């Protein structure tokens, strides 16, 4: 199965639409920051535009909110479209996805969850996973990795790293740190930050071979 991985859209519908049009895929996973409550006065309207584009792709779509997505409003919109992966699980082909949104910053953004709750919630969901491949979709990246570096400093979550180290995950898909687009491996788990759609970045995964590819438009 070919999976399109996107993150950090921040309401940039033009680039998202271009990616969806030019790429081939059988499912979409999104690691957060769908719209942007700081950028758009009509946050919800821009969120609906993003979700409209996902729906038009006519493939299974699952997403978590990011730190710029107010939790209650974004999760309600995702549930209405049957796309919500926040604190949830979804079977898509040979993959079972589990997810948790939001992320810590120094700026007091709309959705900054406690790291311990991310760890506990996803540990429980992972234990129940019956898929051939288990993929966690988490906006907050793990600490001390190649995907959590901002301004030269590691800013990821220790609890998220502990989750990866203590759980049999095959894939960990994240975002949040725009400048840390890339891949890593932690305790046998492939870690991927596709980079921000806002800047034209995305990734694809071929689950049959467990191959990942960073791409851009």
In tens, the pLDDT along 43-83 reads: 999 999 999 999 999 999 999 999 999 999 999 999 999 99
Segment 1-14 shows an average pLDDT of 98
Mean pLDDT of 165-194: 98
In the prediction, which pLDDT does 130 show? 85
pLDDT tens sequence across 142-170 = 999 999 999 999 999 999 999 999 999 99
Query: Homologous superfamily of 2-216 in CATH?
Result: Metallo-dependent phosphatases (3.60.21.10)
- Give the pLDDT of residue 131: 85
pTM of the predicted protein model: 0.98
Average pLDDT, the chain: 97
What is the rounded average pLDDT of the residues 209-213? 94
What per-residue confidence (pLDDT) applies to 21?
Answer: 98
- Residue 173: what pLDDT? 98
Question: What average pLDDT does the segment 88-110 reach?
Answer: 97
What's the rounded mean pLDDT across residues 98-122? 97
Dihedral-angle region of residue 69 (phi above 0 means left; psi in -120 to 50 means alpha; beta otherwise): beta
- Over 90: is that where the pLDDT of 19 sits? yes
Q: What is the pLDDT of residue 14?
A: 98
- Domain positions in the chain are 2-216
């Amino acid at each position: 199965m070919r999976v399109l991985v996107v993150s950090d859209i921040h309401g940039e519908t033009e680039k998202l639409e271009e990616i969806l049009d030019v790429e081939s895929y059988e499912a979409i996973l999104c690691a957060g920051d769908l719209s942007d409550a700081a950028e758009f006065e009509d946050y919800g309207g821009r969120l609906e535009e993003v979700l409209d584009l996902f729906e038009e792709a006519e493939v299974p779509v699952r997403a978590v909110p990011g730190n710029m997505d107010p939790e209650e409003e974004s999760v309600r919109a995702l549930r209405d479209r049957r796309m919500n992966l926040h604190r949830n699980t979804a079977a898509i082909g040979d993959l079972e996805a589990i997810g948790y949104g939001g992320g810590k910053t120094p700026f007091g953004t709309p959705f900054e969850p406690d790291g311990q709750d991310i760890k506990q919630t996803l540990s429980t969901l992972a234990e129940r996973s019956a898929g051939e491949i288990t993929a966690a979709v988490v906006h907050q990246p793990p600490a001390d990795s190649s995907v959590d570096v901002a301004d030269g400093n590691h800013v990821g979550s220790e609890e998220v790293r502990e989750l990866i180290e203590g759980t049999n995950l095959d894939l960990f898909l994240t975002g949040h740190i725009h400048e840390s687009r890339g891949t890593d491996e932690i305790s046998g788990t492939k870690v991927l930050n596709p980079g921000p759609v806002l800047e034209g970045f995305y990734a694809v995964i071929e689950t049959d071979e467990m191959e990942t590819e960073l791409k851009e438009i």
